[in-house]
Amino acid sequence: MQIREALHTTWPEITLHRQADGMIPPFLSPDDPALMTAALPSGSAFLSLPDAPAGQREALEVAAALVGAALARIEAQQEAREVRLQPEPLRENAARLQERFDALFNAAPVGIAAGRRDGTLVRANDAYLGLLGFTREEFQAGAVNWVDLTPPEFAEVDRDALRRAIGDGQAVRYEKEMRHRSGERIAQEVTLLPHWEGSEAVGVAYVRDLRPERAAALGHALELRARGEELERLNAELTARSEALERFAELSRDLALERDPLVLVGRAQEIAVSLMPGSVCTYYEPQGQLWSLRSHRGEFRRPELLARLRLGLPRGETLNVDRPFETLAPYYQDAFDPATVQSAGSSISVIRTSASFPVRTGAQPRGVLVVGRHDQRAWTTAEKTLLETVVFNLQLALERAEQSGELQRRTLALERSNAELERFAFVAGHDLQEPLRSVTSFAQLLVKRFGAHQDDPRAAQYLKHIQGGTQRMQELIQELLNYARVTAETRPPTRQNTNAVTAAAVQDLRASLDAAGAVVTVFDLPPVVADSTQLRQLMQNLIGNAVKYRHADRAPVVTVTGEQRGPWVQIDVHDNGLGIAPEYHERIFTVFQRLHARDQYGGTGVGLTIARRIVERHGGQLWVSSDGVSGSTFHLTLPAAP
């Protein structure tokens, strides 16, 4: 019989492929038939399987072994039939072929057994016997019976498979269990084929152990379950954190301006009690030798317990409070020990579970928050996460309140100081003007009376210095008064015609503009909301500065433009003057700061300070841009008029 013809007959039986599916399985190498022919005398493996589908190589190798066994059997049977008609040497060759078939049959890696309908096995290989825990001697003694080793619930499945295989000539594949000689039930996949032993029809079973596969599946399922449980735990923690954060988001909205620490603690306690139904929450702060109860929430089942806690707990003798305060770490008791709050007496026994947390502001402990439950059960990871999140956010709220209170105290102190300075500047300005006017008047009188008859030229020089000094003093006092009036004399801002106010400021400067030969161009400016007097002073200061610090080689040109940008109007005052180096862009807004000598350019160094103060009082900003060479542009923003 040819190998290829044998494959046509045997392969469909082994693999449940119909002959109509193809003559030779598509994954076989073109060289395999030749390899099979060469391998039969030695019983070795002969399939190279180069193109076996991924994940199916093991099953295909098993199938290949089965095909090999079947081919050897077919070859031996054919040779035996031929041997009966041949001389003795050929019969010996047939015997050798049968031996080789038996060797290949027993060496197959998959269990193979042939049995009758009553369960008696007529043939079984070593792999099959090893799978069930029997020896070949026990098999030969008749100790291995297919029916006896099959659990009752699989008996009907076996009978139906044998009927279809032996009676109908079908190849049947199914799963079942068999008993190991130790009693263990072994899951198997059985491929049952019809076969003739002489004139007797038997079923040949190819058995594959499903335990490794199912163990791997079980391991995978257990791993998935463990991952699911871990995911569930993490999800519970995340839910707890989210719930606590949502409650504290409400706390932040409700108490954004709250600075009383005990109000914040009480709100945190309410959150903790709402998240832990049936619990009570207390907060203690050290006071001398006692722990003072400063706040509590929740329903105490024994009123006498609350009364006792209000008296204070001794420090150093109350472990439930001492420990977290000293270690700065939470202290959980899944089974509350009343001895940790011994001074509370027997009434504390109603608490069955407790958790204590240090409450810090910064790095220093401030107090201890204690949550007690009336039912005894271990704290879960999610509950611990929730409570620790509550305490963490309480600490943030306390720190924010403390910082806010300190900031408010400093702000009030600064406002008082500024108000006092402004009052001082205003009063000092008025008080200084009177003696200054007297000095000026007497200097003018001396010049008028003795100026033409002075014999000493130094006297005239002295009088000139007196007049110059008093004039500068008057200018300085006037600027100080203007600076103080920006805040001291306030009026509600109203809608202003910016064009008209700027035109009035230009008119105020007309004399100095004409003297300098300056050209001022004002484009259309959007209306703003401002104090009219201060707006006029602001424009006068900026345009006046542009003319004062002009370039010696060119006549001053000043351009004023503006545009609305959302709720603000930006006004730009551009000049072609000296310019301001970038390193001085902030310094020029500091009071009394000058970039030039007084004999070069007059002024007091207060004008730009007043200008910025006016703008900031209206909520806007004032800044300068310049390269220090080609002039400067002062930018300011004021609220746009509706």
Who's near 288: CB < 8 A, 6+ residues apart?
none
Position 9 confidence tier, pLDDT thresholds 50, 70, 90: very low
- The span from the CA of 273 to the CA of 237, in Å, is 18
- Say yes or no: 54 and 203 in one domain: yes
Residue 20, SS3 per DSSP: helix
For residue 53, the enclosing domain spans 3-209
What is the mean pLDDT of the segment spanning 253-267?
A: 77
Residue range 451-508, pLDDT digits in tens: 655 566 666 676 676 766 666 666 666 666 666 666 655 678 899 999 999 999 999 9
Is 526 part of any domain?
yes
What pLDDT, on a 0 to 100 scale, did the predictor assign at position 457? 67
Residues 359 and 254 in one domain: yes
Residue 171's domain is classified under what CATH number? 3.30.450.20
Give the model's confidence band at 294: pLDDT under 50 very low, under 70 low, under 90 confident, else very high.
very high
End of a domain among 403, 423, 448?
Answer: 403
Q: CA-to-CA distance for 205 and 171, rounded, in angstroms? A: 10
Closest-CA residue to 69 (of 214, 204, 213, 255): 204
Tell me which of 377 and 31 has the higher pLDDT.
Answer: 377
pLDDT digits (tens, 9 = 90+) for 426-436: 655 555 566 66
Burial of 550 per CB tally in 10 Å (0-12, 13-18, 19+): buried
Whether 500 and 623 map to the same domain: the answer is yes
Q: Would residue 116 count as lying in a domain?
A: yes
Q: Which residues pair with 324 in a beta bridge?
A: none
Distances (CA, A) of 249 to 264, 281, 391, 399, 404: 13, 20, 14, 16, 18
Q: Is residue 632 part of a domain?
A: yes
**Whether pLDDT at 29 is above 70:** no
Nearest C-alpha neighbor of 301 from the set 356, 383, 375:
375
Compute CA distances 30 → 35, 60, 61, 559, whole Å: 10, 16, 17, 95
Domain shared by 121 and 193, yes or no:
yes
CATH of the domain at 276: 3.30.450.40
Position 33: which residue type?
P
Contact 496, 532 (CB under 8 A): yes
CA distance between the termini of the chain? 107
- Exposure string of 491-511, with b = 16+ CB inside 10 Å and e = fewer, is eebeebebbebbbebbebbee
Band of residue 617 on the pLDDT scale cut at 50, 70, 90:
confident
Instruction: Let me know if residue 383 belongs to a domain.
Output: yes
294 and 269 in contact (C-beta within 8 Å)? no
Rounded distance between C-alpha atoms, residue 125 and residue 14, angstroms: 16
Average pLDDT estimate for 207-216: 86
| Mean pLDDT, range 24-51, rounded to an integer | 46
Say whether both 116 and 262 belong to one domain: no
Query: How does the average pLDDT of the chain come out, rounded?
Result: 78
Ranges of H-type helices in 108-210:
126-132, 136-140, 155-162
| Cβ neighbours for 88, distance < 8 A, ≥ 6 positions apart | none
At 6, the amino acid letter reads: A
> If pLDDT is split at 50, 70 and 90, which confidence band does 329 have?
very high
For 312, 403, 501, 611, the CA distances from 485, given in Å and listed in that order, are 57, 33, 19, 12
Structural domain count of the chain: 3
* Co-location of 173 and 260 in the same domain: no
User: CA torsion sign, 132 to 138 to 142 to 148?
Assistant: negative
Q: Which two tokens stand for residue 246?
A: 């949502």
What percent of the chain has a predicted confidence (pLDDT) above 90? 29
Strand 494-496 to 353-361 pairing: unpaired
Residues 290 and 177 reside in one and the same domain:
no
CATH number at residue 526: 3.30.565.10
Contact 370, 359 (CB under 8 A): no
Residues 23 and 145 in one domain: yes
User: In this structure, is residue 472 part of a structural domain?
Assistant: no
**More confident call, 510 vs 488:** 510
Residue 127 has pLDDT above 50, yes or no: yes
The verdict on 136 and 263 lying in the same domain is no
Residue 378: band (very low, low, confident or very high) from pLDDT cuts 50, 70, 90: very high
- Phi/psi-derived region of residue 592, left when phi > 0, alpha when psi is between -120 and 50, beta in every other case: left
Q: With bands split at pLDDT 50, 70 and 90, how would you rate the model's confidence at 40?
A: very low
Alpha-carbon distance of 260 to 50, in angstroms, equals 81
DSSP state of 496: E
Does residue 605 sit within a domain? yes
Instruction: Write the single-letter amino acid at 579.
Output: G
Residue 136 domain-assigned? yes
| Residues 160, 273 within the same domain | no
Query: Taking Cα atoms as reference points, which of 205, 10, 16 lies closest to residue 114?
Result: 205
- Asked which of 350, 376, 403 is the last residue of a domain, the reply is 403
Residue 610: band (very low, low, confident or very high) from pLDDT cuts 50, 70, 90 = confident
Name the helix (H) or strand (E) containing 498. helix 498-508
509 and 595, same domain (yes or no): yes
> Do residue 53 and residue 165 come from a single domain?
yes
Band (pLDDT 50/70/90 cuts) for residue 198 is low
For residue 52, the 8-state DSSP code is P
Torsion angle (degrees, nearest 10) of CA 179, 183, 185, 189: -30
Whether 81 shows a pLDDT value over 70: the answer reads no
Q: Per mean pLDDT, which range of 359-363, 371-375, 551-555 is the poorest?
A: 551-555
Q: Is residue 46 part of a domain?
A: yes
Where a domain ends, among 403, 431, 457? Answer: 403
